[in-house]
Every structure is written in structure tokens, then in C-alpha cells.
Amino acid sequence: MKTASCNTNIMDMFEKGKVLKICAPMVRYSKLAFRSLVRKYNCDICFTPMIVAADFMRSVKARDSEFTTNERDRPLIVQFAAHDAQTLADAACVVAPFSDGVDLNCGCPQRWAMSAGYGACLINKPELVKDMVRHVRNQVDNPNYTTSIKIRIHKDLKQTVDLCQKAESAGVSWITVHGRTTEERHQPVHYDAIKTIKDSVSIPVIANGDIKYLRDVESTHKLTGVDGVMAARGLLANPAMFAGYEDTPLECIWDWVDISIEQGTPFTCFHHHLIYMLERVSSQPERKVFNSLSSTAAVIDYLQNTYGSVHDLIT
């Protein structure tokens, strides 16, 4: 890992009055190569995938495999799963020279995470969240370094407001709200709940959930008054979404090929991303053929034969 020459002050970005566009933490997917791609298409801030802080601190091998970055990978937020304040603070201190903030995952609804005391179970432990935020703030030696949390909402929204206000009192920099409860998966996002949370704190709030097109960024902002919008599946389907494209443009597909080859992205990851990107622009028979490809060379041949090369875009 190389240290970038300077840290971005993310809080200054919020003060510019625009709605920030953010790439969500996604297990297996929001790694360096994909972050490099979405940054080319108007993504303001990127998150790493969720990293279990205790495992990260346990071995150098875990740190090297879980966290990869470069000098152009900024602004960058490193998201950790943790249930112990000192472990989170230790992990934050390790990544602070290479990033612009850490985020505590308080929203992952997966059973393994919650049974281990991570993720969404933390929304029911506001005092512990306060303690973890405070530890990071006190121990990272950089006043511009942000400490944020990503949460889901309670059925009783008063509990969520209480959690957010307690986190604010502990010095949390900003809060991302996924507008569903822990039990909800594909139900409609509760925009009214996000608005209530935004109105109850004085720090920036990010909305997350069902952002599939650039127009969803503006409509979510109008409904909630949030300071930024975070997308996950929408960006997987179209990494150029924040630049206003309705579907993944050919230029973006070839950018992904170039970045993947340059960074040595494993084939499975390289292929999976393209499966997502092509889903809305290819027919079912085409998808069946593409999904069965088993080498980078075969993928490149298929793309050139089916969609054309980058040179075709210019001529």
C-alpha cells in the first residue's frame, strides 16, 4: 500500500452544497478495481467491502488480502465490522494513513454477522456504538479523519433517532441510513424514516436503498433532504450510473476490462462484474453464452464480436 500525498477532508465535500454520490461497501465487489472504475464516472466517495476488524488485526496476511488501495483511490472510507471499541480503534489507526475515514457497520442483516455481534445487532446497542465512535475519534491522530456509521432502521423509529443522536454526541462525523429494518430485504425503502433521522441530527446524513438511476439521487434528496446518496446494486448493474447513463455504456465495459487486466483482477471477479453490467443490455440467449465463458481471452473475444471495440466508439 502506498500512502497518498494528502488526506481529503470529506467534511469539506459536504459543505459544498451538492448531493454526494457514494459507492456502497459490497462484500466481494467494492474492491480496488471496481472503485477505480466508478470513480471515472462521477462517484464522489468509495467504501471498501466490510472487513472484520478482529481478523484484520490478527494477521499481516489478512491485512494484505482484505485491504488494497493505491494513490488514486481517494476519497476512501474503510468499513469495519466490530463489537469492541479498542479493536476498532486499532484497525482504524492501521488504515488511517491510506484512507480518509472509517465506517462502523451497524446494518448488515446476515445471520452470521449478527450472531457474532456485528452488523445490524449494533443498532440495539447505542452505548456500545457511542464507545466505539469515541475510541476512534480519540486515537486516530488526524483531525480531518472521519468516523461514520451505517445503520438500518428500527420498527420503532424513536429508537433509531435515539441511536443517531447518541452517536452524534460521541462525535460521529456522518451517518448512512439504509431505509429498511433488519427483517426487510426488498420491501420499499422508508424515505419518511430517513427524513425524520435527517431532521433529528445536525451532522450529514446519507440515504441508502433502491438507487438505480441518476434520477433516483435527486428524487431521494427531494424526499429526505439528505446530504448524499449511496448505491450498491444500482452501481453493480451500471457503474456509470452516477454519470447519467441509463445502462452500462460500451466505453465503461472496456474501461473495466482495461482496469482488471492492469490490476490483475481474478477471473471470477472480473467475469461476475461483467455479468451484472450486461444484464440489462443483453438477451437471455446472449447471457447464457456469456455466463458460461471461462477465460479472460474468451470474454474479450465475446465482447469484441458482440458489442464492438472501443475503436468502434471513436469511428
CB atoms within 10 A of CB 53: 29
25 assigned ligand-binding residue = yes
Distance CA 293, CA 11 (A): 44
CB-CB contact of 21 with 43 (8 Å): yes
46 is catalytic: no
Q: Match 471499541 to its residue by C-alpha cell.
A: 85
Distance CA 184, CA 160 (A): 16
Q: What is the DSSP letter of 24?
A: P
205 assigned ligand-binding residue = no
Distance CA 164, CA 148 (A): 11
126 assigned ligand-binding residue = no
Catalytic residue among 46, 106, 108, 164: 108
Distance CA 72, CA 4 (A): 8
178 assigned ligand-binding residue = yes
233 assigned ligand-binding residue = yes
135 assigned ligand-binding residue = no
Greatest Cα-to-Cα distance within the chain, rounded to the nearest angstrom: 61
CB-CB contact of 254 with 311 (8 Å): no
DSSP codes, 142-173:
-TT-EEEEEEE--SSHHHHHHHHHHHHHTT--
26 assigned ligand-binding residue = yes
- Enumerate the known binding-site residues for FMN: 25-27, 79, 178, 232-233
- Enumerate the known binding-site residues: 25-27, 79, 178, 232-233
Q: Hey, which residues are catalytic here?
A: 108
